[in-house]
Structure 1
Amino acid sequence: MQPRKPRAPWWRPDRYQPRREDLLARSRMQRALRDFFDAMDFLEVDTPALQVSPGLEPHLQAFRTELRGPHPDDRRPVFLHTSPEFAMKKLLVAGLPRIYQLSHVFRNAERSTTHHPEFSMLEWYRVREGYEALIEDCRGLLRATLRASGHDRFRRGGLEADPFAPWQILTVAEAFETYAGIDLLATAPDPHAPDVALLDRQSAAIGIPAREGDRWDDLFFRIFLEKIEPFLGVGAPTVLKDYPISMAALSRPKPEDGRLAERFELYVCGLELANAFGELTEPGVQRARFVADMDLKERLYGVRYPIDEDFLAALDHGLPESSGIALGFDRLVMLATGAADIEDVIWAPVAD
């Protein structure tokens, strides 16, 4: 993660003027994405940023505050959400078939040229449609917003990607074989408990040995960041799909291959842009994953966040088969305009 260099306050006219065209492009792209979803009969929704649970990804750090009532003893901890996912899925249970939201989300301990503590996330869901439909949504959305930006292709650090060219569709296993020469699935004879030693036997041969205390996931990401990610989304966007089931997060297993999850990520110019799931609908399995993730967070960071019991109750009531995706809108604007720093495309960045 590349750190940011200290800069003058964002409100100074000499700081604003070089950013002006990119910010105007952002506004046009925002209108274009709403037109895109409206044309497909999606309903725009607006859910609260304050939540009982901020999201339970082990490596995300949340902002915590306190919700107080009129009585002095009426107070409880709440968090700024890291994603509107839980609230939006409750709306799916309520009966909405196609929804989207462009919301501010909050992640602490993240600030770099591509990360901001408060940023804009675009999230959308389709009921009774598989995650393959989201790939087509991404094609249309990237093309529509790029046109609106006034540019002809995405750019970042000397790399280019043309969303009108054929997209690369690649499985995670294929990516490891192609770019690192590693047979990833062979390192997980038990798909739910992949073996770091088996991965180390292959990764050490390409100069990335396991370190003391490494989990399989740790070694996976070091290989991925060094050998694979820089080559994804170059020339045209890349859809990286079918993650190992141990990295399923909130996605369900693939019916045709239980070793894999219905999950894909979208890359443009070597930058992760979106994360998509065929949604897990089983509350018992979801609870077990949440508990395991919080156990890991506690071991790594000494903290755990509460589980949203209302979300699990909604799953138990009946989340329909659905697919959903979250896309970093600020990053999309960066790629369209060629901006080098995320703060160049945010109207009023959080003060240092």
Structure 2
Amino acid sequence: MEPYLDPFVVGSPSGEEKGYLITSPEYSLKQALSLGAEKAYEIAHTFRSGEKGSSYHTAEFLMLEFYQVGTDLHQAMDLLEELIRWVTNKLSLPFPEKPFQRKSVKELLSKLAGIDWDRDSLERKITELSLTNLSFNSMEYEDCFFLIFLNLLEPNFASEFQFIYDYPPEMAALSRIELGAAKRFELYFGKIELANAFYELLDPIEQRARFEKEQELRRKLGKEVFPVHEEFLQALERGIPECSGISIGLDRLLMVLLGRNSLSDISPYWREI
């Protein structure tokens, strides 16, 4: 479980059983790839606690997650853009012909913040702009990165679709690292994140090490520490072909395509929180 992701806890009436609502169908789909599937997808009800504070967050939402063998990161961008254009055509919605912008994180940091993504550079810019009163000793790398991202990058995003790709290696999650960058992307429309994608890490040893590091961080943050997902690691050991995976928040996508400003106009699961 990613350190900053928290599932809802559920229990039986007797109190003898405990479980968690699904945050993503990711692991089961990758297990299908390890058993020979070349394409896999699921539209799932997903649940995440702590989703508060804006008109485009809700505790329950519909997620489309899909994987395709033989697809690298830029091919995955092509595939997602093609899908969105197909959907808008089927719905007879107006849509710009201009291709989606593609910008690397390093490019955005240099242009909008004047820095690189190493921790020292992030800390110097945070100090210069007085973005926090917290001690850097108490902050993880991601905390520093998102202070810069949310204050200096995201406010400058135009109201258009753009892919943001190649993240710092500290934020690789389940993506592979090549040439010093985590091979993942996020699709934004303005300030709204619509999709997240990985060029998948296939090394079970590296993935186990990342899971154990996530456990350490959850423990440090005082959160529940979940067991390592052994079935997923076994799938990696069996072998998963080269592939990319994409998850899309369908509620948010429909909100953007219809020109609405709140999930309350779109989602039957939205409630003010």
TM-score in terms of structure 2 length: 0.90
Letter in 2 for 1:228: L
CA displacement at 1:93 relative to structure 2: 0.6
Contact 1:245 1:261 in 2 (8 A): yes
CA distance in 2, matches of 1:342, 1:166: 26
Aligned to 1:228: 153
The answer to whether the aligner puts 1:219 opposite 2:144 as a matched pair is: yes
CA displacement at 1:178 relative to structure 2: 0.8
Q: Any unmatched runs of 5+ in structure 1?
A: 1-55, 154-161, 188-194
Deviations 1:31-57 (A, max 9, x none): xxxxxxxxxxxxxxxxxxxxxxxxx11
CA distance in 1, matches of 2:193, 2:269: 23
Contact 2:126 2:147 in 1 (8 A): no
Aligned to 1:122: 64
Aligned to 1:110: 51
C-alpha change, 1:235 and 1:339, in structure 2 (3 Å) is closer
CA distance in 2, matches of 1:115, 1:293: 24
Aligned to 2:104: 171
Letter in 2 for 1:101: E
The answer to whether the aligner puts 1:93 opposite 2:34 as a matched pair is: yes
How do 1:186-225 and structure 2 match up within 5 A?
A: 187=118, 195=119, 197-208=120-131, 211-212=134-135, 213-225=138-150
CA displacement at 1:167 relative to structure 2: 2.2
Letter in 2 for 1:284: I
Aligned to 1:240: 164
User: Among 287, 309, 312, which residue is 2:208 paired with?
Assistant: 287
The answer to whether the aligner puts 1:270 opposite 2:191 as a matched pair is: yes
CA distance in 1, matches of 2:104, 2:55: 28
TM-score in terms of structure 1 length: 0.71
How do 1:295-314 and structure 2 match up within 5 A?
A: 295-314=216-235
CA displacement at 1:294 relative to structure 2: 1.9
Letter in 1 for 2:123: D
Aligned length: 270
CA displacement at 1:222 relative to structure 2: 0.9
Contact 1:65 1:78 in 2 (8 A): yes
Aligned to 2:267: 346
CA distance in 2, matches of 1:330, 1:308: 28
C-alpha change, 1:229 and 1:336, in structure 2 (3 Å) is same
Structure showing greater Rg: 1
CA displacement at 1:214 relative to structure 2: 2.3
RMSD over aligned CA atoms reads: 2.3
Deviations 1:12-48 (A, max 9, x none): xxxxxxxxxxxxxxxxxxxxxxxxxxxxxxxxxxxxx
CA distance in 1, matches of 2:108, 2:132: 19
